């Protein structure tokens, strides 16, 4: 036991509570995904019911590895990398809109050659935009009232990325836009400029609904949500799962609705959590996400740099807001979306980018890298001193 503690102390830096929450949710993810994919694996993989278990477990381990690598790097380095990733995401989003791979009646993916793995460019764009926005806001704090120099570049990036994402994924674009609004508010952007951003968002959203691929689906889901006489099939099955789960649930692997509920391993995985682990399990998961938000905001508050604070706050909001939307949809508090539950839903590259985001939050929570003798830290410090002297 002492050996494990010593290894964790040396290798797992940053907020230990965040590490604990991520490990708990990751283990729950493996259990729930294995339970909810049993029937699918039996049909699709000729009786190999462990296929998705091993695949998902490997992706969970990969996301944890990405999280570990990301937290070892000083968070200040991500600012330059994010701008490159943001420029790269523009042609990828355009390509996805026109030529993306259609999965579950949505063209949101690009299939990576050789490994034959689906990649969702919006995941890259979301992470890059939040990091870039944190960098831009922190550099413009002294001139935040200058609309032309400080605000316009920020508004252009937000409007462009959110509009391109909305062409194929309206719910993700709306959630990202909301995250950006919160970051601008935290970054002391005047309210009049936030109002301008809202107008830009409405215009961009209207264009996306006009030319986008999922306009009809988005409109029909909103109409179904407000129509008391029409409950979508997915929602009905989710309600049955929740109702039969009761207070303590049916137990791990004992779900019945996994055989009827569409996508019980991704969009509606929280319904399976409630069915198997009951209201107690559902509240525990909710508490873990709220604790994750609190610890992310704590890291933001304790950061000595505006960039670090905005970065941790933005990434924490993005992850937890998505979790809240997913859970809200499962229990009938919002229209159906295609948003997965971070850290729990089965996914591909989305899990990898979730791990990267959490690793960056941990990098902020550990502070600037100041290990004596570290070439990376010393090189960065030397550049910082040169800038200050200039």
Cα distance between residue 65 and residue 58, in whole Å: 10
**Residue at 86 is within a domain:** yes
Measured distance between the N- and C-terminal CA atoms of the chain, rounded to whole angstroms: 51
**Residue at 376 is within a domain:** no
Q: Based on the fold, state whether residues 185 and 312 are members of the same structural domain.
A: no
The model's pLDDT over 11-26, given as tens digits with 9 standing for 90+, comes to 677 789 999 999 999 9
Number of residues assigned to the chain: 390
- Count of structural domains within the chain: 2
Cα distance between residue 232 and residue 210, in whole Å: 24
Q: Based on the fold, state whether residues 223 and 246 are members of the same structural domain.
A: no
Which residues span the domain enclosing 137? 75-230
Q: Based on the fold, state whether residues 93 and 215 are members of the same structural domain.
A: yes
Residue written as token pair 């259990």: 31
> In a 10 Å sphere around its CB, with 0-12 CB exposed, 13-18 middle and 19+ buried, how is residue 46 labelled?
exposed
pLDDT at 220: 73
Rg of the chain over Cα atoms, rounded to whole angstroms, equals 21
CA-based nearest residue to 359, from 85, 128, 64, 135: 64
The model's pLDDT over 71-105, given as tens digits with 9 standing for 90+, comes to 999 898 898 888 898 999 888 888 887 776 666 55
Cα distance between residue 343 and residue 204, in whole Å: 30
Q: Which residues of 131-155 are buried (b: 16+ CB within 10 A; e: fewer)?
A: bbbbbbbbebeeebeeeeebbeebb
Q: Based on the fold, state whether residues 82 and 209 are members of the same structural domain.
A: yes
Does residue 385 carry a pLDDT above 60?
Answer: no
101-103 sheet: strands from edge to edge = 101-103, 106-112, 117-119
- Are 20 and 358 in contact, with CB atoms under 8 Å apart? no
- Are 322 and 176 in contact, with CB atoms under 8 Å apart? no
Which one is predicted more confidently, 52 or 344? 344
| Lowest-pLDDT choice from 102-111, 219-228, 281-290 | 102-111
Tokens matching residue 353: 């980018």
Cα distance between residue 347 and residue 11, in whole Å: 27
- Are 281 and 302 in contact, with CB atoms under 8 Å apart? no
Give the other-Cβ count within 10 Å of 239's Cβ: 16
Does residue 390 carry a pLDDT above 80?
Answer: no
Q: Based on the fold, state whether residues 160 and 247 are members of the same structural domain.
A: no
Q: What is the average pLDDT across 360-367?
A: 89
User: Which residues have C-beta within 8 Å of that of residue 197, sequence separation ≥ 6?
Assistant: 155, 158, 159, 180, 181, 184
Q: Based on the fold, state whether residues 209 and 330 are members of the same structural domain.
A: no
Q: Could you tell me the CA-to-CA distances from 95 to 53, 170, 172 in Å, in that order?
A: 32, 17, 17
Global pTM reads 0.86
pLDDT at 8: 63
Q: Based on the fold, state whether residues 199 and 97 are members of the same structural domain.
A: yes
Q: Decide which of 184, 199, 230 is a domain's last residue.
A: 230
**Residue at 278 is within a domain:** yes
Does residue 284 carry a pLDDT above 60?
Answer: yes
Q: Based on the fold, state whether residues 149 and 294 are members of the same structural domain.
A: no
């Amino acid at each position: 036991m002492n050996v494990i503690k010593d290894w964790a102390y040396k290798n797992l830096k940053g907020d230990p509570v965040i590490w604990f929450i991520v490990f708990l949710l990751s283990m729950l993810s493996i259990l729930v995904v294995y339970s909810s994919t049993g029937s699918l694996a039996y049909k699709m993989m000729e009786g190999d019911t462990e296929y998705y278990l091993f695949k998902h477990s490997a992706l969970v381990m990969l996301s944890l590895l990405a999280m570990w690598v990301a937290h070892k790097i000083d968070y200040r380095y991500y600012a330059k990398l994010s701008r490159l990733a943001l420029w790269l995401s523009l042609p990828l989003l355009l390509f996805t809109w026109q030529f993306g791979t259609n999965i579950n009646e949505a063209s949101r993916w690009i299939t990576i050659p050789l490994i034959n793995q689906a990649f969702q460019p919006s995941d890259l764009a979301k992470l890059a935009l939040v990091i870039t926005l944190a960098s831009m806001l922190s550099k413009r704090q002294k001139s935040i009232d200058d609309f032309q120099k400080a605000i316009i570049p920020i508004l252009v990036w937000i409007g462009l990325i959110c509009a391109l994402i909305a062409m194929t994924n309206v719910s993700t674009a709306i959630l990202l836009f909301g995250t950006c609004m919160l970051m601008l508010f935290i970054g002391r952007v005047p309210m009049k400029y936030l109002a301008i951003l809202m107008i830009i968002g409405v215009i961009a959203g209207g264009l996306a609904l006009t030319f986008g691929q999922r306009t009809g689906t988005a409109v029909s889901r909103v109409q179904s949500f407000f129509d008391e006489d029409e409950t979508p099939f997915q929602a009905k099955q989710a309600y049955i799962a929740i109702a039969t789960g009761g207070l303590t649930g049916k137990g791990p692997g004992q779900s019945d609705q996994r055989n009827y509920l569409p996508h019980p391993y991704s969009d509606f995985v929280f319904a399976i959590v409630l069915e198997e682990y009951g209201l107690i399990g559902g509240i525990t998961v909710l508490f873990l996400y709220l604790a994750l938000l609190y610890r992310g905001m704590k890291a933001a508050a304790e950061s000595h740099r505006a960039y670090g604070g905005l970065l941790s706050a933005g990434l924490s909001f993005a992850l937890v807001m998505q979790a809240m939307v997913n859970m809200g949809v499962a229990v009938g508090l919002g229209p159906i979306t295609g948003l997965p539950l971070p850290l729990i839903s089965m996914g591909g590259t989305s899990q990898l980018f979730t791990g990267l985001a959490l690793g960056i939050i941990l990098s902020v929570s550990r502070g600037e890298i100041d290990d004596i003798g570290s070439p990376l830290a010393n090189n960065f410090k030397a550049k910082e001193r040169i800038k200050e002297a200039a």
